[in-house]
């Protein structure tokens, strides 16, 4: 066990750039390794060209007016803080994630709790391709052909009871597979997030036909960096609501304590609906940069899905419930 705890990189594996570090940077590098161990152990995920194809019928009800973002961008510009805080980290480091075997526990206020193997989840309902825009709270967006089926299909299978009011999603907690979950010498992680990553929806939001249990994109299984083997996609909310690599879904009676709201309650609320006139405290949400474009675009209410989801929030003040 002791041996497994020791840094597992060998100097022969250290990249060329590292050889050019001067002495001061080398010391800083060693300090960074002590603070945030694990990074040197990781390697890149399988190339997207080698991922298994995943056939799915395009659902004509869920197309997008804009053409999809290039797959190269969608798989190399990612937020996945379990691998690090930089957008490039997941594509460089997500090789440690092992998406098979994989199980998802669905429990809580349900009549029929269960543990679903990923192969079983893939067969639970017909797979559809749906082109959705994903709008990050950092004011950029992408248009992605996702593969999955409505989350409601899984939730109906476990039969929520009358006490179920919210749905909580948990990402895998395993510092061996997610190096940035390792705590440094001062006991904190670089992102400031508590692990596992936790997200949540109100039950009626989770049952909405747009909420997609997602197992693939661009005709293939999900790349590690995009949340393999199973994630959620909630297209009318900021991207961080769409938890990746989930292993547990809990039906609960109280509003879940979500990872971002816990870390920065003033900046990230529970609802996080895309809202062009509710600014983030440090920047505007009125416009966004579509990855691959230069000119900024206007951000649309509910990310363009207002006609389908606005009724979920009738009578609610979305400036208070941000």
Q: List residues binding ligand MTE (CB under 6 A).
A: 78-82, 134, 136, 171, 197, 226-227, 239-240, 242-245
> Least separation, in Å, of the C-beta of 242 and Mo ion?
8
Q: What is the number of H-type helices and E-type strands within the chain? A: 10, 13
| Alpha carbons 141 and 235: distance in angstroms, whole number | 11
Pick between residue 121 and residue 137 the one whose CB is nearest to ligand MTE: 137
| Alpha carbons 12 and 105: distance in angstroms, whole number | 41
- How many Cα atoms sit within 13 Å of 107 on the Cβ side? 7
- The answer to whether the Cα torsion of 220, 297, 89, 258 is positive or negative is negative
Contact partner at residue 200 from Mo ion, ligand MTE, none, CB < 5 to 8 Å by partner kind: none
> Least separation, in Å, of the C-beta of 311 and Mo ion?
25
> Least separation, in Å, of the C-beta of 28 and ligand MTE?
25
Contact partner at residue 211 from ligand MTE, Mo ion, none, CB < 5 to 8 Å by partner kind: none
Which chain residues interact with Mo ion by CB under 5 A? 79, 136, 239-240
> Least separation, in Å, of the C-beta of 62 and ligand MTE?
17
Judge whether 312 and 208 are in contact, CB under 8 Å.
Answer: yes
The beta strand positions in the chain, using DSSP E, are: 57-58, 103-108, 114-117, 128-135, 140-150, 166-171, 198-202, 212-217, 220-221, 231-233, 246-252, 287-290, 297-298
Bridge partners of 163?
none
Pick between residue 99 and residue 239 the one whose CB is nearest to Mo ion: 239
Pick between residue 129 and residue 160 the one whose CB is nearest to ligand MTE: 129
Judge whether 97 and 228 are in contact, CB under 8 Å.
Answer: yes
Pick between residue 157 and residue 280 the one whose CB is nearest to ligand MTE: 280
> Least separation, in Å, of the C-beta of 170 and ligand MTE?
9
Residue whose tokens read 């939730």: 155
Contact partner at residue 270 from ligand MTE, Mo ion, none, CB < 5 to 8 Å by partner kind: none
Pick between residue 80 and residue 218 the one whose CB is nearest to ligand MTE: 80
Bridge partners of 135?
141, 238
Pick between residue 109 and residue 238 the one whose CB is nearest to ligand MTE: 238
| Alpha carbons 241 and 297: distance in angstroms, whole number | 22
Structure-token pair, residue 160: 């929520």
Pick between residue 110 and residue 274 the one whose CB is nearest to Mo ion: 274
> Least separation, in Å, of the C-beta of 77 and ligand MTE?
7
Q: Give me the residue whose beta carbon is nearest to ligand MTE.
A: 239
> Least separation, in Å, of the C-beta of 40 and ligand MTE?
21
Pick between residue 164 and residue 170 the one whose CB is nearest to ligand MTE: 170
Q: List CB contacts of 103: < 8 A, sequence separation 6 or more.
A: 115, 116, 117, 118, 247
> Least separation, in Å, of the C-beta of 322 and ligand MTE?
16
Q: Reading across the β-sheet that carries 114-117, which strands appear in turn?
A: 114-117, 103-108, 246-252, 166-171, 198-202
């Amino acid at each position: 066990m002791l041996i497994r705890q020791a840094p597992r990189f060998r100097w022969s594996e250290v990249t060329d750039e590292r050889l050019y570090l001067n002495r001061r940077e080398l010391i800083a590098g060693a300090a960074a390794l002590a603070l945030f161990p694990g990074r040197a152990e990781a390697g890149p995920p399988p190339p997207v060209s080698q991922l298994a194809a995943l056939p799915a019928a395009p659902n004509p009800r869920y197309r997008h007016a804009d053409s999809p973002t290039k797959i190269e961008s969608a798989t190399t510009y990612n937020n996945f803080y379990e691998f690090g805080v930089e957008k490039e980290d997941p594509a460089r480091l997500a090789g440690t994630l092992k998406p098979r075997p994989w199980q998802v526990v669905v429990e809580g206020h349900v009549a029929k709790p269960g543990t679903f193997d990923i192969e079983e989840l893939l067969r639970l309902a017909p797979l559809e391709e749906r082109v959705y825009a994903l709008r990050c709270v950092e004011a950029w967006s992408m248009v992605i052909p996702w593969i999955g089926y409505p989350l409601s299909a899984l939730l109906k299978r476990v039969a929520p009871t009358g006490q179920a009011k919210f749905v909580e999603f948990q990402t895998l907690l395993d510092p061996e597979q997610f190096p940035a979950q390792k705590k440094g010498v001062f006991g904190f992680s670089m992102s400031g997030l508590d692990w596992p990553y936790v997200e949540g929806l109100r039950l009626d939001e989770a049952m909405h036909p747009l909420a997609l249990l997602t197992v693939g994109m661009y005709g293939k299984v999900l790349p590690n960096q995009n949340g393999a083997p199973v994630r959620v996609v909630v297209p009318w909310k900021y991207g961080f609501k769409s938890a990746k690599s989930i292993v547990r879904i809990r039906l609960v009676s109280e509003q879940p304590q979500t990872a971002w709201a816990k870390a920065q309650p003033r900046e990230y609320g529970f609802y996080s609906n895309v809202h062009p006139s509710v600014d983030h405290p440090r920047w505007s949400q009125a416009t966004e940069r579509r990855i691959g474009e230069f000119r900024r675009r206007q951000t649309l209410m509910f990310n363009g899905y207002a006609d389908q989801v606005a009724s979920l929030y009738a009578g609610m003040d979305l400036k208070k419930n941000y």
